[in-house]
Amino acid sequence: AAFHKDLNLPADTVVVTKGVRFDQDQNSAFDQTGLAEEFRRRQIRRIFVGGLALDVCVQATVLDALEEGFETVLLLSATRPVTAEGGEKAIESMKKGGAVISG
């Protein structure tokens, strides 16, 4: 995957690549990527999460972020589930874990 040619990323943008292991799934952006350490180094305490799919990678990322101690906001309008039922269950799981759900 690549970023669109018209997307102007700041010079200090950190690009995190996940799912590069052949021997295991990496659904969370925090799974062996160094992301939590980078956030701590930058003194980031609150994160906003969107992406695909709500009931797989987004849920895993949100729950891992909470476990790492970050205040975590799910941007519901910036994500979609694989299935409606899976999405509803994922939202409940993230709420229960302490995520803030934002339209």
> pLDDT digit string (tens) for 35-90?
999 999 999 999 999 999 999 999 999 999 999 999 999 999 999 999 999 999 99
Q: How many CA atoms lie within 13 A of 16 on its CB side?
A: 16
What is the residue range of 8's domain? 1-103
In Å, how far are 5, 6, 8, 12, 15 from 58, measured between CA atoms? 25, 25, 24, 24, 17
| Predicted confidence (pLDDT) per residue in 8-37, tens digit | 999 999 898 887 777 777 899 999 999 999
28: CATH:
3.40.50.850
pTM, entire model: 0.90
Long-range contacts of 24-27 (CB under 8 A, 24+ apart): 27/56, 27/57, 27/60, 27/61
Per-residue DSSP letter, 89: H
Q: Tokens 């709500």 map to which residue? A: 54
Count of structural domains within the chain: 1
